[in-house]
């Protein structure tokens, strides 16, 4: 059942984080739904601009509709990840999305707030909620590349003023994470003090943590042993830190890179072990099972595992 993102956040705030997982193809979609059913968790399916281009919007949306039919017990929201203004309007007008993200964080504050406000007005008129971003995460966001040094943390006073001016329903905050596989070096990690300061000024307000993959060293090792060349400097968020961020208002956690690593590891190992093989359904089947297990594991860490019935009762 597709629900609004707001409905999920109302149950989750302070208690668990809703996993927001990107999809690009059928295998990811089936693995995602199976993993959430396996762990009895509510979740968010996200579609990026890149995914819309890669797999065709109609294909992605109809895959989600098919999954909804195949898994009638699933409770989830459908979200546009890192949208520009035009893509947000497209999704709002389609009537299919629960929420959209307008990512205008590369603009100065005033312009970011003004763009976000325009999107909020169009979205709210249709009952769709809006996630915005303030501060810049490191890594690559669609076409915008930000390096670690220039990734500035979200200023709490600005966050409060931004929400007031724009009317956005949730806010992606820069709290130390970045997109992709190279988030941290040495002892870097999440900035809990910063999250706490933001929560103080925005109590009961859902914060979104992008760039939340954990880039497991074991996964990177196996990929490299099977012919990959991922630098071992790749390092992500310690998944045990999610539980500390949740009481501070982190209500949505975005994970994409880790799922790509599962895909890469399964396929590299398969074709290394069976060099004569070419039936892609074999590694595809393994991938779907492994991805489902991965999702179930993440949901345990996000404390969303087992919360499906609580959400169902709240609807
Ligand atoms: O934050 C970005 C997500 O990982 C989606 O990535 O734009 O390559 O589809 P993508
Ligand atoms: P990762 O690259 O850490 O998976 O982040 C994904 C994300 O933030 C999607 O919006
Ligand atoms: Zn992101």
CATH at residue 306: 3.20.20.70
188 pLDDT tier (thresholds 50, 70, 90) = confident
* C-beta separation of 251 from 9 below 8 A: yes
Centre of ligand 1 from the C-alpha of residue 314, in Å? 31
For Cα atoms 225, 228, 229, give the angle at the middle one, nearest 5 degrees. 110
User: Residues with catalytic annotation?
Assistant: 81
- 227 torsion bin: left (phi>0), alpha (psi -120 to 50), beta (else): left
Confidence of residue 139 (pLDDT cuts 50, 70, 90): low
* pLDDT tens string 258-270: 999 999 999 999 9
146 vs 49, higher pLDDT: 49
Ligand 1 atom index nearest CA of 179:
1
- Residue 141 CA: which ligand is closest? 1
pLDDT at 235 over 90: no
pLDDT in tens, 262-298: 999 999 999 999 999 999 999 999 999 999 999 999 9
Taking the centre of ligand 1 as the mean of its atom positions, its distance from the CA of residue 50, in whole angstroms, is 7
22 CA distance to ligand 2 middle (Å): 8
How far is ligand 2, taken at its centre, from the CA of residue 312, in Å?
27
Nearest CA to ligand 2 atom 1: 211
Over residues 218-238, mean pLDDT: 94
Q: Which residue range(s) make up the domain with 145?
A: 5-314
pLDDT in tens, 8-26: 999 999 999 999 999 999 9
- What is the average per-residue pLDDT within 155-176? 97
User: Rounded to whole angstroms, how far apart are CA atoms 102 and 142?
Assistant: 12
Residue 142 has pLDDT above 50, yes or no: no
What percent of the chain shows pLDDT beyond 90?
89
Comparing 127-141, 222-236, 281-295, the range with the smallest average pLDDT is 127-141
Arithmetic mean of pLDDT, 127-141 = 83
* DSSP single-letter state for residue 246: G
Please name the residue whose Cα sits nearest to atom 4 of ligand 1.
Answer: 256
Ligand 2 atom with least separation from CA of 178: 3
**Rounded CA gap, 91 and 102, in Å?**
11
**Distance separating alpha carbons of residues 238 and 235, to the nearest angstrom:** 9
pLDDT at position 134 is 97
Ligand 2: residues whose CB is within 6 Å?
Answer: 22, 81-82, 179-180, 210-213, 254-258
Residue 129 has pLDDT above 80, yes or no: yes
Mutate which of 55, 60, 179 for ligand 1 pocket (most atoms within 8 A of beta carbon): 179
Per-residue pLDDT band at 46 (split at 50, 70, 90): very high
Average pLDDT over the chain, rounded to whole? 94
Q: How many domains does the chain have?
A: 1
């Amino acid at each position: 059942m597709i629900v609004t993102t707001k409905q999920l956040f109302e149950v989750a705030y302070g208690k668990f984080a809703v996993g927001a997982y990107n999809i690009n193809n059928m295998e990811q979609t089936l693995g995602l739904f199976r993993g959430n059913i396996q762990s009895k968790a509510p979740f968010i399916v996200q579609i990026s601009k890149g995914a819309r281009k890669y797999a065709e919007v109609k294909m992605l949306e109809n895959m989600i509709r098919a999954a909804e039919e195949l898994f009638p017990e699933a409770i989830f929201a459908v979200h546009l990840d890192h949208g520009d203004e035009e893509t947000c309007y497209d999704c709002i007008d389609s009537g299919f999305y629960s929420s959209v993200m307008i990512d205008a964080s590369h603009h100065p504050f005033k312009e970011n707030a003004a763009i976000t406000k325009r999107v909020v007005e169009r979205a709210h008129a249709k009952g769709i909620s809006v996630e915005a971003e303030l501060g810049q995460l490191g890594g690559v966001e669609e076409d915008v590349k930000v390096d670690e040094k220039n990734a500035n943390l979200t200023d709490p006073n600005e966050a409060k003023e931004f929400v007031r001016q724009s009317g956005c329903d949730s806010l992606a905050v820069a709290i130390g994470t970045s997109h992709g596989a190279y988030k941290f070096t040495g002892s870097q990690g999440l900035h809990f003090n910063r999250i706490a300061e933001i929560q103080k000024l925005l109590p009961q307000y859902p914060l979104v943590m992008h760039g939340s993959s954990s880039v497991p060293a074991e996964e990177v090792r196996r990929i490299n042993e099977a012919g990959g060349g991922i630098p071992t400097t790749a390092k992500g968020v310690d998944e045990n830190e999610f539980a500390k961020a949740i009481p501070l208002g982190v209500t949505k956690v975005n994970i994409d890179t880790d799922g790509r690593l599962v895909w890469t590891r399964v396929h590299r190992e398969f074709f290394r072990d069976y060099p004569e093989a070419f039936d892609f359904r074999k590694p595809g089947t393994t991938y779907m099972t492994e991805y489902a297990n991965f999702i179930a594991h993440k949901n345990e860490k996000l404390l969303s595992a087992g919360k499906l019935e609580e959400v169902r009762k709240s609807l």
